[in-house]
């Protein structure tokens, strides 16, 4: 109905004893009759203490007798209000000594509780200041608790502190939103957003409080956890229904759901107080909070009037509960700190104990190390003496061998000079003696003198060498052992110059050529050949002798092993083993292939090396 229809039905108005009307589907009309005394001022401010009013329209008659209206409410941008204040406020000019009637039309989806108050300008300012002090202090408490929970969570990663911070945030937003401060200071020009944020904070506050109890009290009860999960689902569905579908019947039903949840939580915590010492601390704040929620719920459904006690009991109870939670959290922090200090002291004790044990172990290990060093030094002394004796022995052997070798060489030279008229066979024999003495002299000069007997210990010394000349030298040296063996050198596919250690390589080639002569019958052919691929050189020494069976072939590299055909032939069984070792020292390898009755083939694989120096040694 419009104002004219309402004024025509003044008989329908009746006095009320309560200013709480609950959840109404339509509009509530209030008729106020005012009588001002002459000594009172004419300008007054009418405040409707109901921040959650969606629309409040004031109808009054101006001096010309025309009805005028003004509309306030949290669904109206705050810029359209006469003063920047959370509650609807109307300015009135009231005549003296005669009744002055105003009409108020109130509409809201929230619970409708209205307390009309008249103020002078100064008294209104004083009233607003007192309100701001009270609610500012309350908001400061919530904000401090929010920060406390947040920083405790960052410091400890304990989820109970994180949920405590979220619960404090929900309660802070509920208090600021319900009392109109979000609308006044932040969302005055976005009233629909203010309503959505407030609904989400109220409805999510219930399951958030349940999660806080689960983590703080370490509740393992499946029933309690299922109830909290149900709270999340119910809260989410209620928010969607209110914000998107406009199902306003959800509001009173959810009020009852909150009361049941608070009752269930209080009873559950009460039942575990003997098993969980922390539950009693929660219960101290939970009981008055449940009572405050009950009072607020009864006021919302108009079972209790709206006054300072019923309006503010919820915030005071909430503050007491959050303070109790904060106290409980602080006790938990104290317990954690005590446990931390105990663990630190225990760690320090163990550290000192381990330090003493480690120090003792270090002393023991040091003594053992010193003893080991002394043993190593003694072994080194023995080795040095052995090396000195070895050098003396080689020097002595070299000296003792040179004398008879010189005699043999001089005698062979004289015989060769005197045998001008002798037959060719005799002269050949004298030549072989001279070649053998010359080879032995070279060995003594190269490997048994003071500068060169450390050949195996000095390491590999790569140089450019003439491979063809070394192979020819090996064949020529081995031919002294037999005049009936035939040496064939097919060197077309082998490079003339390679990089290797000439001393080591020459020993390998001579040793293998000598073996080919010793272990093959007369008239045998020994072939020197090979090929060159990009990354290595393959040198092949092949004979057509009796070869080796599988058993002999598998043991040819064993030290001092000699086959059946070595009976009566000189040697120590070390030639192949030493030759393979010398090849491996140069990064190569030696492989033997043989079939009984079909000769023997030896492969020398030598990797290709590059040197800057250009020194060619035969």
Report the range out of 311-315, 483-487, 537-541 with the highest average pLDDT: 537-541
| In the predicted structure, residue 451 carries a pLDDT above the cut 60 | no
Q: Is the pLDDT at 212 greater than 50, yes or no?
A: yes
Same domain, 79 and 150: no
Residue 446: band (very low, low, confident or very high) from pLDDT cuts 50, 70, 90: low
Average pLDDT over every residue of 383-389: 75
Residues 603, 273: Cα–Cα separation, whole Å: 90
pLDDT at 436 over 80: no
**Buried residues in 193-202 as b, exposed as e (16+ CB within 10 A):** ebbbbbbbbb
pLDDT of residue 396: 63
| pLDDT at site 232 | 93
Which domain covers residue 165, as residue numbers? 133-341
Residue 77 sits in the same domain as residue 170:
no
CA angle, corner 380, sides to 377 and 383, nearest 5?
A: 155
Q: What's the domain count of the chain?
A: 3
Average pLDDT over residues 445-461: 56
Q: What is the dihedral of CA 73, 300, 165, 86, to 10 degrees?
A: 20
Cite the DSSP H helix spans in 95-190.
121-156, 159-178, 181-185
Residue 98 lies in a domain: yes
pLDDT(430) > 80: no
Token pair belonging to 1: 């109905």
Claim: this prediction has a pTM higher than 0.75: no
**CATH number of the domain encompassing residue 63:** 2.60.40.2380
pLDDT at residue 73, rounded to an integer: 87
153 plus 107 within the same structural domain: no
Let me know whether 187 and 99 are in one domain: no
CATH number for 577? 3.30.565.10
Q: What is the mean pLDDT of residues 481-499?
A: 87
| Placement of tokens 């030639």 in the chain | 575
Confidence (pLDDT) at 537? 93
295: in domain: yes
Both 169 and 72 in a single domain? Answer: no
Q: Which residue has the higher pLDDT, 456 or 339?
A: 339
Q: What is the pLDDT of residue 448?
A: 54
For range 272-287, the mean pLDDT: 81
Helices (H) and strands (E) in the chain, counts: 14, 16
% of residues, the chain, pLDDT over 70: 87
Query: Is the pLDDT higher at 618 or at 81?
Result: 81
Q: How many CA atoms lie within 13 A of 463 on its CB side?
A: 14
Rounded to whole angstroms, how far apart are CA atoms 14 and 16? Answer: 6
Q: What span, in angstroms and rounded, lies between the C-alpha atoms of 532 and 534?
A: 7
The answer on pLDDT for 112 being more than 70 is: yes
What rounded mean pLDDT belongs to the chain?
A: 82
Alpha carbon 26 to its chain's center? 60
Most confident region among 160-164, 229-233, 607-611 by mean pLDDT: 229-233
Same domain, 156 and 227: yes
Share of the chain above pLDDT 90, in %: 15
pLDDT at res. 59: 92
Structure tokens at 393: 């022995």
**What average pLDDT score do residues 584-589 get?**
90
Which CATH number do you get for residue 217? 1.20.1070
Q: Do the Cβ atoms of 543 and 524 come closer than 8 Å?
A: yes
DSSP state for residue 76 in the 8-state scheme:
S
Which of the four pLDDT bands, split at 50, 70 and 90, describes residue 103? very high
Question: Is residue 445 over pLDDT 80?
Answer: no
pLDDT band at 453 (very low <50, low <70, confident <90, very high): very low
pLDDT of residue 613: 43
The pLDDT tens digits of the residues spanning 529-567 come to 999 988 899 999 999 988 888 888 888 888 877 777 666
Measuring CA to CA, how many Å separate 503 from each of 9, 198, 446, 455, 586?
Answer: 132, 96, 9, 8, 11
| Inside any domain, residue 112 | yes
Of 315, 303, 610, give the one whose Cα is nearest residue 464: 610
**Does residue 511 belong to any structural domain of this protein?**
yes
Residues 115 and 139 in one domain: no
CB 596 within 8 A of CB 615: no
Question: Could you tell me if residue 301 is inside a domain?
Answer: yes
Q: Which of 73, 94, 119 is the last residue of a domain?
A: 119
Of 607, 574, 605, the C-alpha closest to 590 is: 605
CA 117 – CA 19 distance, rounded (Å):
12
Per the model's pLDDT, the better-predicted residue between 122 and 302 turns out to be 122
| Beta-bridge partner residues of 22 | 112
Give the lowest-confidence range in 217-221, 449-453, 532-536, 590-594: 449-453
Instruction: Return phi, psi of residue 307, to 5°.
Output: -150, -175
Q: Which of 89, 119, 149 is at the close of a domain? A: 119
Strand partners, 497: 466
Q: In degrees, to the nearest 5, what angle opens at C-alpha 591 toward C-alphas 610 and 584? A: 45
pLDDT at 392: 66
* Residue 107: count of CB within 10 angstroms of its CB: 17
* pLDDT at 393 exceeding the cut of 70: no
Q: What is the pLDDT of residue 616?
A: 38
Residues 94 and 159 in one domain: no
Give 560's strand partners.
Answer: none
- Domain annotation covers residue 214: yes
Strands 100-107 and 28-34: antiparallel
> What would the mean pLDDT of 426-449 be, rounded to a whole number?
65
Identify the pLDDT of residue 489. Answer: 93
**In the chain, what's the furthest Cα-to-Cα distance?**
177
């Amino acid at each position: 109905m419009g104002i004219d229809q309402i004024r025509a039905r003044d008989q329908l108005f009746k006095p009320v004893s309560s200013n709480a009307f609950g959840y109404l589907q339509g509009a509530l009309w209030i008729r106020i009759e005012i009588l001002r005394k002459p000594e009172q001022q004419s300008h007054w401010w009418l405040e409707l203490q109901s921040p959650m009013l969606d629309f409040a329209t004031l109808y009054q008659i101006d001096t010309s007798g025309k009805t005028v209206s003004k509309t306030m409410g949290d669904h109206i941008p705050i810029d359209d209000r006469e003063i920047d204040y959370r509650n609807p406020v109307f300015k009135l000019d009231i005549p003296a000594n005669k009744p002055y009637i105003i009409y108020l039309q109130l509409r809201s989806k929230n619970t409708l509780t209205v307390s009309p108050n008249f103020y002078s300008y100064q008294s209104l300012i004083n009233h607003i200041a007192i309100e701001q002090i009270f609610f500012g202090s309350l908001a400061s408490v919530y904000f401090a608790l929010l920060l406390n929970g947040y920083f405790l969570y960052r410091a400890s990663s304990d989820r109970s502190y994180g949920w405590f911070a979220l619960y404090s945030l929900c309660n802070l937003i509920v208090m600021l939103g319900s009392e109109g401060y979000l609308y006044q200071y932040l969302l005055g020009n976005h009233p629909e957003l203010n309503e959505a944020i407030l609904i989400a904070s109220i409805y999510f506050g219930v399951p958030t409080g349940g999660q806080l109890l689960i983590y703080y009290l370490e509740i393992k009860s499946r029933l309690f956890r299922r109830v909290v999960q149900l709270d999340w689902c119910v809260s989410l569905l209620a928010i969607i229904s209110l914000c998107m579908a406009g199902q306003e019947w959800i509001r009173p039903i959810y009020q009852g759901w909150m009361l049941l949840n608070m009752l269930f939580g209080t009873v559950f915590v009460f039942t575990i107080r003997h098993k969980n010492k922390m539950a009693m601390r929660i219960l101290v704040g939970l009981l008055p909070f449940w009572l405050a929620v009950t009072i607020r719920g009864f006021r919302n459904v108009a079972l209790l009037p709206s006054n300072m006690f019923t309006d503010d009991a919820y915030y005071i109870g909430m503050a007491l509960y959050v303070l109790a939670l904060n106290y409980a959290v602080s006790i938990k922090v104290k317990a954690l700190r005590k446990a931390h200090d105990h663990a630190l002291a225990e760690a320090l004790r163990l550290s000192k104990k381990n330090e003493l044990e480690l120090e003792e172990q270090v002393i023991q290990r040091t003594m053992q190390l010193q003893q080991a060093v002394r043993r190593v030094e003694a072994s080194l002394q023995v080795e040095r003496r052995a090396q000195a004796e070895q050098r003396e022995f080689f020097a002595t052997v070299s000296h003792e061998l040179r004398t008879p070798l010189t005699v043999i060489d001089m005698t062979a030279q004289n015989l060769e000079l005197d045998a001008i008229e002798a037959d060719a066979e005799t002269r050949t024999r004298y030549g072989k003696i001279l070649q053998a003495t010359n080879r032995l002299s070279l060995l003594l000069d190269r490997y048994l003198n003071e500068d060169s007997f450390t050949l195996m210990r000095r390491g590999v010394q790569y140089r450019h060498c003439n491979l063809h000349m070394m192979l020819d030298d090996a064949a020529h040296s081995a031919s002294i052992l037999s005049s009936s063996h035939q040496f064939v050198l097919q060197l077309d596919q082998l490079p003339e110059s390679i990089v290797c250690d000439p001393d080591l390589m020459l020993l390998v080639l001579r040793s293998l050529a000598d073996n080919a002569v010793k272990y093959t019958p007369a008239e045998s052919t020994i072939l020197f050949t090979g090929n060159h691929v990009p990354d290595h050189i393959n040198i092949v020494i092949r004979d057509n002798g009796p070869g080796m069976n599988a058993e002999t072939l598998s043991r040819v590299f064993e030290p001092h092993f000699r086959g059946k055909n070595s009976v009566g032939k000189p040697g120590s069984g070390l030639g192949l083993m030493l030759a393979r070792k010398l090849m491996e020292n140069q990064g190569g390898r030696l492989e033997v292939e043989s079939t009984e009755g079909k000769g023997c083939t030896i492969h020398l694989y030598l990797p290709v090396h590059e040197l800057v120096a250009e020194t060619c040694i035969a």
